[in-house]
Amino acid sequence: MTLEAATALRELAQGSENRSKIGRLRSVYAEVLEAQNAGVSNRKIVETLNSEGFNLTLKTFETMLYRIRHQAGGYCHNPRQSQIPAEKNGVSKIFNPADVRKSRTRKIDLNDYKE
């Protein structure tokens, strides 16, 4: 019985009629990224997916891509953000005006800087 249940679940996962739009998009996500990296517009990608039965709007597609990227932990709004080192031993570098404003309100304990 367990083997039959496993087989039935695999069949559900393979069939597109039983899966959500985002689930189906996840299965072709690598190909979507490949197309984007090649310079294909999102609009053209959506047209192609819709011709294969996805039934997406451009906005829905972009929202789903955003969610997939965030769930995978591989997306950051600011590409520089991933290059900025984390605060080390309570010391951080200043990269923009917001960092200057933060430093004005930061409490400084001079005892932390004893040599």
What percent of the chain is predicted at pLDDT more than 70?
70
Tell me the average pLDDT across 59-87. 69
Over 70: is that where the pLDDT of 94 sits? no
Residue 110 lies in a domain: no
Residue 97 lies in a domain: yes
How many CB atoms are located within 10 Å of the residue 18 CB? 10
Residue 82 lies in a domain: yes
The 3-state secondary structure of the chain reads: CHHHHHHHHHHHHHCHHHCCHHHHHHHCHHHHHHHHHCCCCHHHHHHHHHHCCCCCCHHHHHHHHHHHHHHHCCCCCCHHHHHCCCCECCECCCCCHHHHHHHHHCCCCHHHHCC
The confidence band for 115, taking pLDDT boundaries of 50, 70 and 90, is low
Give the C-alpha separation, 55 to 49, whole Å.
Answer: 8
Indicate the pTM of the whole model. Answer: 0.56
Residue 92 lies in a domain: yes
Mean pLDDT value across the chain? 77
The structural domain count of the chain equals: 1
Q: Identify the residue with better confidence: 19 or 46.
A: 46
Residue 85 lies in a domain: yes
pLDDT, tens digit (0-9, with 9 covering 90-100), for 24-65 = 898 889 899 999 999 999 999 999 999 988 999 999 999 999
Report the pLDDT value the prediction gives residue 12, as an integer from 0 to 100: 73
Report the pLDDT value the prediction gives residue 93, as an integer from 0 to 100: 65
Over 80: is that where the pLDDT of 113 sits? no
Residue 111 lies in a domain: no
Domain boundaries, position 20: 2-105
Residue 112 lies in a domain: no
Residue 114 lies in a domain: no
Report the pLDDT value the prediction gives residue 74, as an integer from 0 to 100: 57
